[in-house]
Amino acid sequence: MGVSTSFVEPDLLNPSVSEIIDIDTLLSNAHELLGGIPDHNASELPTSVPEQPRTNLPDLGHNVSAAQRTWLADDEACASALANIAKRFVKAFFEHIATHIPIVHKPNFDIATVPSPLLLAMMACGAVYLSEHSVAVSMHAVAMQLILEHERTAVPWMTDNESQTWTLQTYLLLSYFAVYCGDEEHVTQTFPHSVKEALGDLKTRPITTYKDWVRQESTNRCIASTILLGASIASNERKVLVPSPVLEIGFALPSTTADWLKDEASWEAPAQALYGDDALKSILAGQAPDLPVSEFGLVTIVSVILYRVCAFETLIEPHHLELYTSLGEQMGGAVRILDEILKRRLSEKTLDLEAESVTQCAKSLLNSVFYHLYGSIPLATMKKLLSSPTTLDSPVEISNLLVETCSPVLYKALIRAADQLRFDCRVGLKYIRKTAPLRFGPECAISIYEGNLLLCWYLQFAHSHLPPGESRNVLTTLIDEGFAEVEDLRVELQGQRVNLPLAICLELLSDSSVWKWPSTVSQRLGFLIKRLQAMGQISIDTTITTKDQNLSLFMPVSNTHHSGQHTPDVCHGAEKVEIQDVVITMLPKPWQCSAGWAIGHYGPWKRRQSIYQLD
């Protein structure tokens, strides 16, 4: 990728940069830093940062003392070391980040001419994968200052297409870094810039040369990545940050991974491109597009569907069940087609590492579509519990959180989650924990914890309340087969089967050697498991059937008289009923929840399957 001459400005660098990062040579003398790296086209383009005078380097001439020679040698060694650092971080970027956020064209990449903000953003992301987090954070901060300063001083009518492309690439990588390293302040600062740049770059330009194609393909992939990141944020945090013009995807979908990695000698101009709006229109109609969909094109379309579903969730309250049901019916055909395309792609044995990484990203996103489309209400419930486990101390809050109304097609979300759980357990939790952070993007972790939250909700609160049938039998089989693979976790949880999905998810996301966000979720899962364990096993639940209605009754097993009677503490508003010398407390309605159990000020209420018929 080339560099516009408009980028090279004498006052581009922030004078306080050296106070932020401890490798000021990287910024004040980029040409020297990168001098040891092969230069493919440096003669054609200016260096990314103009060389500045080294005021701390005296003119030694011929009268050089031994001490001065040693100091000069050390200085040159430092520059060489920094050049190696740059190469190492960039290599890590292409090996790991570029496999799932493929927006920088590796065959055409020249480290000696890439703009400094983009180079530093790439190096920051690469440093994360080398577990050099402090360096990564420093580079991210410097890149932020450089790109914001460049935007402040850039002349709009002098900004060319190449400048737009690298600016969008930089903002995207900075946003991606901020999202998954837990820097929410910078997310709100950089991602809107990414969206703005994407909106300004939506137009399609004629392609006559390889250089034209690389520029246009890079732009298309940047817009697609903007949608991907926006959908991931919406799924995880229910924040709607992408405007509709970007979601209309009126641009050519990204090419295949194989075409994207071709150099100029092997490149052939594409005969026909599949445009995103045409593909989306076909899929929403329940039909496959006329042209094949590439790996990253599939990610783009699934991201659009996920974003639309999540945007719906932010607008519609959970009690409008009929609207959620209607959305599920409207999107059902699209989800089915996308699932068929994905299954065909996953069955292909020719996927290389980069294509596999992108395809797995599409699978994770589609899993989240299932969870939000068919299990939105319980998923929102469990996310509230995850963010605030102390909610379990309040019976009224439980009553508010555990909404009894659920989608009639809830089993679609639960079966999808259970199938993924079984797959993960069979592959091996420890293996996935160690390899997944290096092979797949952190956005894939979102569907992992969403699916396991749904399964925990089912086992904890809804297992005996959802209607029986074939779907329930399938779900039970999938869960049992998955749990059979992780017997060691069951032992650790002392047989508490209901918490096993959370423990599995905790294991999968516990690695903190790369991105910060997944391990943060893992820690929160640990807190939630402890709260649920503190509640005790659910063992006693008395249901009384009257002529008019079914009432769930709750009793603490700890309060047992010598006569053998269970006499629960009476909460405010409770009503006592005596049946065959057994004293039963009928809890007031605010204490009741969909699972037939509650937590009161008097300790855990436990569950027993007993039915009494009242005349």
pLDDT digits (tens, 9 = 90+) for 97-148: 999 899 999 999 998 889 999 999 999 999 999 999 999 999 999 999 998 8
Say how far apart CA 27 and CA 614 lie, in whole Å: 81
542-545 and 610-613 as β-strands: parallel, antiparallel, unpaired? parallel
Closest CA to 375 of 317, 451, 311: 451
pLDDT band at residue 501 under the 50/70/90 scheme: very high
Predicted local distance difference test score (pLDDT) of residue 297: 95
pLDDT band at residue 349 under the 50/70/90 scheme: low
Name which residue leads in pLDDT, 95 or 245: 95
Q: What is the DSSP letter of 291?
A: S
Closest CA to 328 of 418, 267, 412: 412
Cα dist from 278 to 230, 273, 281, 285, 365, whole Å: 21, 11, 5, 11, 21
pLDDT band at residue 45 under the 50/70/90 scheme: very low
Predicted local distance difference test score (pLDDT) of residue 388: 87
Say how far apart CA 443 and CA 303 lie, in whole Å: 11
* pLDDT above 50: residue 445: yes
* pLDDT above 60: residue 378: yes
Q: What is the DSSP letter of 275?
A: B
User: What average pLDDT does the segment 448-460 reach?
Assistant: 95
Q: What is the dihedral of CA 561, 564, 565, 566, to 10 degrees?
A: 80
Q: What is the mean pLDDT of the chain?
A: 74
User: What average pLDDT does the segment 421-432 reach?
Assistant: 96
* pLDDT above 80: residue 516: yes
582-586 and 575-579 as β-strands: parallel, antiparallel, unpaired? antiparallel
Closest CA to 524 of 460, 459, 456: 456
Say how far apart CA 247 and CA 231 lie, in whole Å: 10
CA dihedral for 238, 240, 244, 247, sign (positive or negative): negative
Name which residue leads in pLDDT, 466 or 608: 466
Predicted local distance difference test score (pLDDT) of residue 3: 39
Q: What is the dihedral of CA 572, 574, 575, 578, to 10 degrees?
A: -110
pLDDT digits (tens, 9 = 90+) for 161-183: 666 789 889 999 999 999 898 66
Most confident of 1-5, 401-405, 449-453: 449-453
Q: What is the DSSP letter of 555?
A: B
Cα dist from 421 to 150, 283, 600, whole Å: 47, 27, 33
Percent of the chain with pLDDT over 70: 64
Predicted local distance difference test score (pLDDT) of residue 462: 81
Most confident of 42-46, 102-106, 251-255, 587-591: 102-106
Predicted local distance difference test score (pLDDT) of residue 444: 95
End-to-end CA distance of the chain: 82
User: What average pLDDT does the segment 438-450 reach?
Assistant: 94
pLDDT band at residue 9 under the 50/70/90 scheme: very low
pLDDT band at residue 491 under the 50/70/90 scheme: confident
User: What average pLDDT does the segment 23-35 reach?
Assistant: 40
Among 254-268, 385-399, 432-446, 590-604, the minimum mean pLDDT is found in 590-604
Both tokens of 186, joined, read 């910078």
Say how far apart CA 238 and CA 42 lie, in whole Å: 45
Most confident of 115-119, 155-159, 488-492: 115-119
Please, are residues 212 and 546 in contact by the beta-carbon 8 Å criterion? no
* pLDDT above 50: residue 1: no
Say how far apart CA 90 and CA 453 lie, in whole Å: 36
Both tokens of 373, joined, read 């489309």
Q: What is the dihedral of CA 476, 480, 481, 485, to 10 degrees?
A: 160
Predicted local distance difference test score (pLDDT) of residue 573: 38
pLDDT digits (tens, 9 = 90+) for 97-109: 999 899 999 999 9
Say how far apart CA 232 and CA 515 lie, in whole Å: 15
Say how far apart CA 442 and CA 367 lie, in whole Å: 15
Domain residue spans of the chain: 1-201, 210-374, 380-534, 542-613
Helix (H) or strand (E) holding 429: helix 429-439
Both tokens of 613, joined, read 């018929």
Cα–Cα–Cα angle for 127, 166, 134, nearest 5°? Answer: 20
Predicted local distance difference test score (pLDDT) of residue 396: 67
User: What average pLDDT does the segment 262-272 reach?
Assistant: 88
Percent of the chain with pLDDT over 90: 41
Predicted local distance difference test score (pLDDT) of residue 355: 78
User: pTM of the full predicted structure?
Assistant: 0.76
Among 104-113, 181-190, 335-344, 567-576, the minimum mean pLDDT is found in 567-576
Listed in sequence order, the residues at least 6 apart from 47 whose beta carbon sits closer than 8 Å to its beta carbon are 8, 30, 31, 34, 112, 113
Most confident of 184-188, 395-399, 461-465: 461-465
Long-range pairs of 342-351 with CB within 8 A, sequence gap ≥ 24:
342/298, 342/366, 345/295, 345/298
pLDDT band at residue 82 under the 50/70/90 scheme: confident
User: What average pLDDT does the segment 545-562 reach?
Assistant: 37
Name which residue leads in pLDDT, 45 or 197: 197
Predicted local distance difference test score (pLDDT) of residue 306: 95
Q: How many CB atoms lie within 10 A of CB 248?
A: 13
